[in-house]
Amino acid sequence: MQGKIVKGIAGFYYVYAKAEDALAGHIYECKAKGIFRKDNIKPLVGDDVEMTVIDEENKLGNIVNILPRKNALIRPAVANIDQALVIFAICKPEPNLNLLDRFLLMMEQQGTRCIICFNKMDISTKEEQERLLSIYEKSGCPVLFVSAKEKKEMDKLREVLKGKTTAVAGPSGVGKSSIINEIQSEVKMETGSISEKIERGKHTTRHSELIPVGEDTYIMDTPGFSSLGIFDLEKEDLKFYYPEFETYENTCRFHGCVHINEPDCKVREAVENGEISNIRYENYKLLYEELKQRKKY
């Protein structure tokens, strides 16, 4: 039988096997066969697997094969992701845009498309929304504004998720759980006899969880984040992760300009003219300095 790992806790893997009804299915509690340890392969949430059922009544089985992966992310450690949805609040709390930029950079490093979703339209002003749009409209990422509380623009969000596996991330207090609950409200999963371990794990383990929300459509809830470091990146390459710089890249006076202090830098000129967001540029400078300092040690 084939299925998809939706959660892994303490050596147990919970595998979702679709039923004939795309919005129903069963979850089997499985162990991974020893062959994976021998080959140094660790099953990941999001993996498509083959399993043998050893107890149909209690929905128990063994994973016997991991099917070829489309991709595997380092952070979060998940597989077969099509895109990432990063959720921040428009206000209450005020969005930490440096943290948002770090997340976009981390996903871009791993080759994963990002969608930016700002929640809490119901308590924000039009001016606040327009300000955020002006900052990120040239970032190369789609930008959505929603209200989970009043269910505004949720259809647009469902549309961008349709037919894809999407990692969902965001800091605490932004309404991430409310959005996930709204998106998956139509899904009925027959969980069978899932062991107590999965219940205990909810409270004690930081884990990713894959949730079926429609035919060939999954969302992956990942642990909240409050800080993100940059890894495996040279400071000179940072500029290539800012799509808004690309137009001006070959027009600076110096070849290899990193857009910090060089004279006749067209990127800095574009920032001064309001063509590139000053906030995005200031975050770029902070990240550049962080990479520069890291290389000293």
In CATH, what number is assigned to the domain containing residue 169?
3.40.50.300
101, 35: one domain: no
> Per the structure block, which two tokens stand in for 82?
């099509």
Which single residue is written with the structure tokens 């099509």? 82
pLDDT for residue 206? 57
Range with the poorest average pLDDT among 15-29, 40-54, 256-270? 15-29
pLDDT average, residue stretch 273-282: 97
61, 178: one domain: no
Answer yes or no: is 72 within a domain: no
183, 208: one domain: yes
Distance CA 229, CA 99 (A): 10
Answer yes or no: is 18 within a domain: yes
160, 282: one domain: no
Domain that holds residue 282: 235-294
18, 104: one domain: no
Count of other CB atoms within 10 angstroms of residue 171: 20
Q: How many domains does the chain have?
A: 3
pLDDT average, residue stretch 132-149: 96
Q: What is the mean pLDDT of the chain?
A: 86
Q: What is the pLDDT of residues 33-81, one digit of tens each?
A: 877 777 788 899 999 999 999 999 999 999 999 999 988 887 778 899 9
139, 213: one domain: yes
Answer yes or no: is 165 within a domain: yes
Query: Residue 261's domain is classified under what CATH number?
Result: 1.10.40.50
248, 212: one domain: no
Residue 261's pLDDT band (cuts 50, 70, 90): very high
- CA-nearest of 3, 9, 7, 11 to 34 is 11
Which single residue is written with the structure tokens 């857009």? 259
Q: What φ, ψ does residue 236 adopt, rounded to 5°?
A: -70, -20
Answer yes or no: is 73 within a domain: no
169, 60: one domain: no
Answer yes or no: is 100 within a domain: yes
For the chain, the helix, strand and coil percentages under 3-state DSSP, each to the nearest 5 = 30, 25, 40
Distance CA 100, CA 102 (A): 5
Check residue 177 and give left, alpha or beta (phi > 0: left; psi -120 to 50: alpha). alpha
241, 217: one domain: no
129, 245: one domain: no
173, 240: one domain: no
Q: What is the pLDDT of residues 157-193, one digit of tens each?
A: 999 999 999 999 888 889 888 898 888 865 544 444 3
Q: What is the pLDDT of residues 96-124, one digit of tens each?
A: 999 999 999 988 888 889 999 999 999 99
Range with the poorest average pLDDT among 130-134, 185-189, 203-207? 203-207
Answer yes or no: is 197 within a domain: no
**Is residue 223 predicted with pLDDT exceeding 80?**
no
Answer yes or no: is 226 within a domain: no
56, 127: one domain: no
**Is residue 258 predicted with pLDDT exceeding 60?**
yes
pLDDT for residue 260? 95
Answer yes or no: is 241 within a domain: yes
Indicate the pTM of the whole model: 0.84
pLDDT average, residue stretch 22-38: 79
Give the DSSP H/E element, type plus range, for residue 133.
Answer: helix 126-136
Q: Report the b/e string of 241-260 with b at 16+ CB within 10 A.
A: bbebbeebeeebeeeebbbe
Distance CA 34, CA 93 (A): 46
pLDDT for residue 249? 86
